[in-house]
Every structure is written in C-alpha cells, then in structure tokens.
C-alpha cells in the first residue's frame, strides 16, 4: 500500500489541478413558483443579478429556510475533485476575488476544511459575492451577485511571482465560462501557458447567456480549450450562436470539437451532459440512475460532474473512467443539499 501511495504521489502532487473563477457564498432555499414569477426567474437557469433582483436576496433569507454553502462553479468543481482524490491534500489550487468581510472569512474556512489550496485576492471596495439558489422540485434557478468576484485583477494577483509559480506547477487547468465576464486577460494568460506547455486546459460553457452575450470572449479562448464541458441547454445556445445549423447534441459536439485549435498535439474533447439522459462525448455514456424520491437538490450537479471528471483526468486516467467518476460525483451531490458531500467517496 505504501508503494502504491508513493507511485500515486509521484503521478500527481499538490497544486496539480488549477482553477480560477468567481468565489461565491451560495444562499440556498426551496422556494415556490410565486417567488420565481415575482422576480421573472426561470425554474432552471443561471443569471447575473440586476437592479430588479436587489430585494430578492433579502426576501429569500426572510421568507424561506436558507442554508449557506461555499460556492461558485469553478470552486465547487475543484473541491469535488479534491474530495474524490482525498490524498494528497491541496492537489487543487483555486484563485478568485473576495471581500474583507465575514462571508470572505467563511469562504476561506470552507476551502481549508476541504483541503483546497485557495489563494484569494482580497479587496475592500466590494463585499464577497453571493449566489441565490432558488430550488423548486428538481430544478434550481441561480442568481449571482458577483460583487467582489467581479474585481479580480490579473496584475494585482495572477501576475505576482508566488501566484504564477502555482499556475506553473499545475498540469490540468479548469475555468468555468462565468469568469469570461470578469477577466478575459487572466483566462488567456493561463490558457496560453497550458497550450504552450502541452498541458490540459478545460472550460465550461456554463450558461446560455455566456454563449450569447460573451461569445466574443468565449471564442478568443476556444482555440486553447482541450476539454469543453456543457449541458444540453448551453450546447444548443452555443450551436445557435455559432451557426451550427443543428440541434442534434452529438452533431453539436462534433462541430465544437472541430473548431480551430492552437495545440495540434491533442484533439479537443467535448463533453455534454443531459441531466438524467446519457452524457455525450461523441460516444454516449449512460448516467447513474437515481430514484427521484432521493433527489434533494440538483444545485451543483454540473459542477460535481466536472469535479469528478477532473479528479481522474489529473491522474491521467482514460476518458471513460473520467466520465464514470463524473457521473458518480454528480449522483452523490443531487442527493444532498447544496454542493456538499460525505466525508469520503465510495468510488471504485
């Protein structure tokens, strides 16, 4: 067993997996249709908070029973990957911006608890970002108030020598599409480093609005993307914006795979999830079936899928094993509140 452990730690070590994104404190509650209608929310969607959503956060806390969880898409995926890996600790590194406040302190504590090596850029102009997760049945409508998360600065954090050294230590990188609204230059610096050094850069479409309103930013990064994640709604929105002229998920995956790529040593892998239906990666993979009565909360299922996938990818496992781990992690998370998990995984 000791020899196996040594071999494993040689294969991947601390800071092998790097993530950068929007650290948010999730405020989760089961709500009713009237609440969604009042704030013009779709049952299953992700949006950025606007002026009309200002009172939503206060009403959510006053009217419903809320739970607080450390969140933000990329941070969720990195912590799930670390949970799946278990040892060594701090395989996952995370960069993002928080405020110098109570919520920021909670995020730091939560990252430490799950053994993620979080290095936050801390500033006092904006408070730590929050995300309202409004749950109805199997659906979740996410409203993100980025606040501090929107203040990440390449020159103030990513470019610092001690931080860039952590980027260089990694061999797999993951950034959710949500960060395209914050710091394109930071993403491009990391993506180009990965491409030039034949490392793996992974990205997520994240939400239809990213594909629609931030497509120029998205397409600047796309040539460096080795693994592209998305769900069927995001993939359909992406296909429409890219004039793929198809709604067939397998065909969308093929066309996304064929988009121009900087590092010709690797073919792009496209992974599209479809909820309880099969996952498409040119070939399809059946998902782990869960009895609906055991589904507590689908918030974080997509992040958990990515986290499970990355946990095997960083260990250089074959892609079918990556998908298997992804399905396992997502299946665990939907049976719990928020993006939370038991002490240890039971994945073989």
Instruction: Give the active site residues.
Output: 303
Q: Reading across the β-sheet that carries 227-231, which strands appear in turn?
A: 117-123, 92-99, 17-20, 172-176, 200-204, 227-231, 269-274, 277-281, 283-285
Torsion, CA 151, CA 191, CA 20, CA 347, rounded to 10: 160
Per-residue burial over 68-80, b if 16 or more Cβ lie within 10 Å, else e, is ebbbbbbbbbbbb
Q: What is the DSSP annotation of 153-213?
A: -IIIIITSHHHHHHHHH-SEEEEEGGGGGT-HHHHHHHHHHHHHTT-EEEEE---HHHHHH
Contact predicate 174/202, CB 8 Å:
yes
Contact predicate 29/60, CB 8 Å:
yes
Strands 139-145 and 129-136: antiparallel
Provide the residue count of the chain.
Answer: 348
> Residue 305 CA to chain centroid, in angstroms?
9
DSSP letter, residue 263: -
Q: Which residues neighbour 194 within 8 Å (Cβ) at sequence distance 6 or greater? A: 173, 200, 201, 224, 226
């Amino acid at each position: 067993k000791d020899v196996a452990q040594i071999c494993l730690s040689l294969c991947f070590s601390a800071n092998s997996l790097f993530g950068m994104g929007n650290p948010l404190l999730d405020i989760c509650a089961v709500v009713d249709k009237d609440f969604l209608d009042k704030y013009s929310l779709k049952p299953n969607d992700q949006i950025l908070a606007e002026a009309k959503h200002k009172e939503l956060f206060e009403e959510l806390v006053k009217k419903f029973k809320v739970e607080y969880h450390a969140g933000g898409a990329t941070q969720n995926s990195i912590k799930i990957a670390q949970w799946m890996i278990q040892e060594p600790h701090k395989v996952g590194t995370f960069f993002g911006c928080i405020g110098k406040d109570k919520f920021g302190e909670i995020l730091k504590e939560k990252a430490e608890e799950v053994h993620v090596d979080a290095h936050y850029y801390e500033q006092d102009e904006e408070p730590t970002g929050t995300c309202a997760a409004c749950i109805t049945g199997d659906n979740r409508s996410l409203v993100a108030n980025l606040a501090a998360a929107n203040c990440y600065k390449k020159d103030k954090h990513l470019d610092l020598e001690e931080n860039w050294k952590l980027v260089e230590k990694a061999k797999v990188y993951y950034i959710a599409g949500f960060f395209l609204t914050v710091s394109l230059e930071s993403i491009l610096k990391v993506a180009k480093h990965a491409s030039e050094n034949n490392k793996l850069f992974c990205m997520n479409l994240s939400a239809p609005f990213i594909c629609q309103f931030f497509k120029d930013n998205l397409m600047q990064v796309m040539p460096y993307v080795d693994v592209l994640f998305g769900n069927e709604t995001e993939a359909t929105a992406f296909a429409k914006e890219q004039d793929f002229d198809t709604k067939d998920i397998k065909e969308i995956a093929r066309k996304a795979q064929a988009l121009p790529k900087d590092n010709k040593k690797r073919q792009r892998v496209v992974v599209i999830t479809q909820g309880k239906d099969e996952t498409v990666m040119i070939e399809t993979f059946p998902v782990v079936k869960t009895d609906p009565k055991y589904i507590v909360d689908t918030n974080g299922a997509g992040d958990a899928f990515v986290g499970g996938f990355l946990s095997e990818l960083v260990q250089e496992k074959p892609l079918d094993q990556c998908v298997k781990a992804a399905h396992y992690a997502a299946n665990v998370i939907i049976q719990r509140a928020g993006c939370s998990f038991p002490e240890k995984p039971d994945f073989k």
